[in-house]
Amino acid sequence: MYFLRGVECLHYPLDYPDPYGAFYGYDTVREAGWYASGTKRGLKELLYGVNLLAKALIHMHAPRVIGIQRFSIFLYHCHVNDEWRQFLDILDTCIRCRWVYLVPEKQEDRILLRKLCEQTLKFENHFLVCYRTYLLSLLNSKDQDSRDFAIKQLEKVLYPDEKHLNHPR
């Protein structure tokens, strides 16, 4: 979730990266090299970060599926196909094709982007709930590497109840 927030450790439930920003901080340029020189606000990190979450959800539903970033939305339809499908379609189409990764200037597009950013926070929190359930299931795995992975990942997100902290390795 680094690309959406710029931090390695998170507190669930998440809040907006910048609650007072026009697009809640989701337009923050964290990777300047991804843009033309001097670009102040952009959307590549937003789309990339959401695609990473979608890929992780795909993996939770279909562990053998290995997809490349560009096909995350298509694979999401095939393997997850939940209530977030339309959000992912619209976000991808608007950012990649319509706005070409830049914050739009037209007022109607800015309104749509703001709504998509509001949904992004909900999608992130949805992901964290699903991911936690997945990681907690790995703690019961017979495979030590899976258990170690789960513990390491669970240390990156602080949940209010922290039930997993006392789980034996």
Of 98, 163, 96, nearest in space to 135 by CA: 163
Cα-based distances in Å from 47 to 56, 71, 123, 152: 14, 13, 12, 25
- The predicted pLDDT at position 153 comes to 93
DSSP 165: G
Under the banding of pLDDT at 50, 70 and 90, the label for residue 168 is very low
* Start-end of H helices in the chain: 2-5, 44-61, 72-79, 85-92, 107-138, 144-154
pLDDT single digits (tens) 112-161: 999 999 999 999 999 999 999 999 999 999 999 999 999 999 999 998 88
Contact between 154 and 138 under an 8 Å Cβ cutoff? The reply is no
Decide: pTM greater than 0.85: yes
